[in-house]
Amino acid sequence: MKLMPGGRAASLFAALHFTVGCLGSTPSSLLSATKTTPADLNYPSGTPFPGDYGGQYRPQVHYSAPQNFMSDPNGIFRDASGTWHLYYQYNPLGLSFGNQHWGHATSKDLYHWASQPIALGPPNRHTTALFSGSTVVDRNNTSGLFPNQDNGVVSVFTLAGRDPDGGFGGPQVQSLAYSHDGGFNFQFYEHNPVINSTSNQFRDPRVMAYKDHWVMVIAYSRDFTIGIYTSPNLLDWTHASNFSLHGLLGAQWECPNLIQMPYIDEECHRQDDVWTLFVNINPGGPLGGAVVQYFPGSFNGTHFKPVDSAARTVDSGKDYYAMQFFNNIGPGTEVEYPVSIAWASNWQYTQLVPTGQEGWRSSMSLPRRHYMTKIKGVGWKLVSQPYNLERVMGDTLAVQKNVTKEVVAVEFSGVKSNAVFWEVNITGIPERALRSLSLNVSFVSPSTTESVRLAYVFGGVDFDLYGGDTPFSLDRGGAKGFDHRFFTHRFSVSSPHDDGTWSASGVLDRSLLEVFIHGGIETVTSTFFTQEPVAVVLFSLSPDLPKGLSVDLRVVGLNSAWDNQASHDGLVYGNRTIKG
């Protein structure tokens, strides 16, 4: 959960004095607040907010809240019935950060979402905010809170104390709420907080089951440290170890995740899983603002040991942050591989983007399936692929094999969602390809000629000097609907072609573009804002392609996940059968 400007806690680099793991007394106002029951919460409750999903910028296959401001996903899990629960940081009262609650949506496929009533809110929004956390299913009733059921839901989260002037300089303590109805209505645990603190930089608990106990990873944000705690019952926590000062530091660490990640070797054989620690950084990412890094390693239930200190990042765009993994899936369940979702925005400009004109701000990334592999010359690499995308696949707009034209244009103005999936596969690339050999994929607005452009240079910047860097780049500078000093235009990542082959695919969804390079070995996520809708995709190839080089491409329209949910007035009302 990112701290944004407000009151005397405004500066992200303010001099804040605290001790890591310093557990002390909590102000009585905060303690009493954590005992408040949902009936006393100070926010609109009992019915979901309606949303207009017809706006020019509103994504059609990515989740966005019905209205107002949304940021980090948190507390996400899949229940025994196969329903995915997405909770998220939400301000139900405005288009910018503040009044932090947990919004809630559910889905059977991670694309067709039903917005639910707000799940959790601060006991008193004037004195506390409800920051990020996680949710687990207490099947064995280790907490003692569910004597007559095996599907009790427990959420652990940060309650952040507010200053009298509205800032967030108060203590951040870890508290608990539980639900007897599957995660729709919650009650605060009467003995909160479950981990006390006097620090205002101690947040974002991620809880998981490990053999015979529970494990929590949590950020000591300004000390670049991830604390590891253990508990037999979700209520009583003991500090076990710390992980700190590895990889990228940035200005603060947030939103950790510890995941048992499948490992598939270069021969596509499943090997032993590798424990992987994910740490989100904001501010201070290499591109400015936010970034997600990860550390492959080992975990014994109390201590995490990385394989090295290298910095590895999940995504090379500027709009991918607060990556979270769904709990209650993995080995022994219907969903074998880890599935994640992230916030597709950046704190440097998220509160200013023009979607506010449509009454909403921010969307989530596509759900992604992951595994770990090893790349020659690189080592450990996280692979990320769209999960279950076939659920929104529509009509095929174009399929071309062995393309010889320099330009192939595919119009999709007739696709109601204004969203498309595209892919390109190239074989027969010469070992020492000329630097002039390139591929461009451009998404163009016919009425304004605005564009977002992708480019791949097969021969690299300078083969002799750099060993064939073969960069892939994204340029959103041709979209003219939004301008801000930190809304930088260009991003690039090295993407070597292997055995003369290279591939890329992606989803363009109105104002959001996600690219998956070489099967998801690299990804790039970027928002963009054109003045008029994009409606054409152009594939441009260098002239005089080398003999033996073959290019195949495909474009498929995507079906809107929201269109069929709209009422006669055009609004999507969500699930109004669950009452708070």
DSSP character for 378? T
The reported pLDDT for the residue numbered 302 is 99
The two three-digit tokens of residue 151, written as one number:
């599907």
* Of 182, 323, 344, 346, nearest in space to 261 by CA: 323
CA distances from 442 to 21, 31, 116, 510, 528 (A): 50, 55, 37, 14, 13
The two three-digit tokens of residue 71, written as one number:
């940021």
The reported pLDDT for the residue numbered 295 is 99
Helix (H, G, I), strand (E, B) or coil at 516: strand
The reported pLDDT for the residue numbered 577 is 54
Amino acid at 355: T
Supply angle C-alpha 179, 184, 187, rounded to 5.
35
DSSP character for 49? P
The reported pLDDT for the residue numbered 168 is 84
Supply angle C-alpha 424, 474, 411, rounded to 5.
50
The reported pLDDT for the residue numbered 433 is 61
* Contact in structure between 525 and 365 (CB atoms under 8 Å): yes
CA 151 to chain centre: 26
Q: State the DSSP H helix or E strand holding residue 84, giving kind and residue range, or none if neither.
A: strand 84-91
CA distances from 60 to 20, 57, 198, 374, 512 (A): 43, 9, 43, 34, 10
Largest distance between two CA atoms of the chain: 76
Tabulate helix, strand, coil % of the chain (nearest 5). 5, 45, 50
Beta strands in 238-331 (DSSP E): 238-244, 253-264, 270-281, 291-299, 304-306, 321-325
The two three-digit tokens of residue 125, written as one number:
């929004």
Give 68's strand partners.
360
Residue 120, judged by CB atoms within 10 A of its CB (0-12, 13-18, 19+), counts as: buried
The two three-digit tokens of residue 36, written as one number:
């408040």
For 14, residues 6+ apart whose C-beta sits below 8 A from its C-beta are: 8
- What whole-number distance in Å separates Cα of residue 513 and Cα of residue 322? 18
* Contact in structure between 204 and 279 (CB atoms under 8 Å): no
The reported pLDDT for the residue numbered 468 is 54
* Of 232, 193, 205, nearest in space to 27 by CA: 193
Any alpha helices (H) in 195-315, and if so which ranges? none
The two three-digit tokens of residue 316, written as one number:
């090379």
DSSP character for 485? T
User: Which one of 40, 52, 72, 204 is the catalytic residue?
Assistant: 72
The reported pLDDT for the residue numbered 578 is 46
- What whole-number distance in Å separates Cα of residue 310 and Cα of residue 308? 6
* Of 186, 175, 116, 119, nearest in space to 146 by CA: 186
What is the full DSSP assignment across 454-480? EEEETT-S-HHHHS---EEEEE-TT--
The reported pLDDT for the residue numbered 435 is 67
- What whole-number distance in Å separates Cα of residue 518 and Cα of residue 335? 23
CA 59 to chain centre: 15
Active-site residue flag, 72: yes
User: Rounded to the nearest 5°, which phi and psi values hold at 61?
Assistant: -125, 0
Per-residue pLDDT of the chain (580 residues; tens, 9 = 90+): 544 333 322 222 222 222 223 223 333 333 333 333 333 444 556 889 999 999 999 999 999 999 999 999 999 999 999 999 999 999 999 999 988 999 999 999 999 999 999 999 998 888 999 999 999 999 999 999 999 999 999 999 999 999 888 788 899 999 999 999 999 999 999 999 999 999 999 999 999 999 999 999 999 999 999 999 999 999 999 999 999 999 999 999 999 999 999 999 988 999 999 999 999 999 999 999 999 999 999 999 999 999 999 999 999 999 999 999 999 988 778 898 999 999 999 999 999 999 999 999 999 999 999 999 999 888 999 999 999 999 999 999 999 999 988 999 999 999 999 999 999 999 998 877 666 788 999 999 999 999 999 999 887 555 454 445 678 999 999 999 999 999 999 999 988 767 889 999 999 999 999 999 999 999 999 999 999 999 999 999 988 788 889 999 999 999 999 999 999 999 999 886 544 3
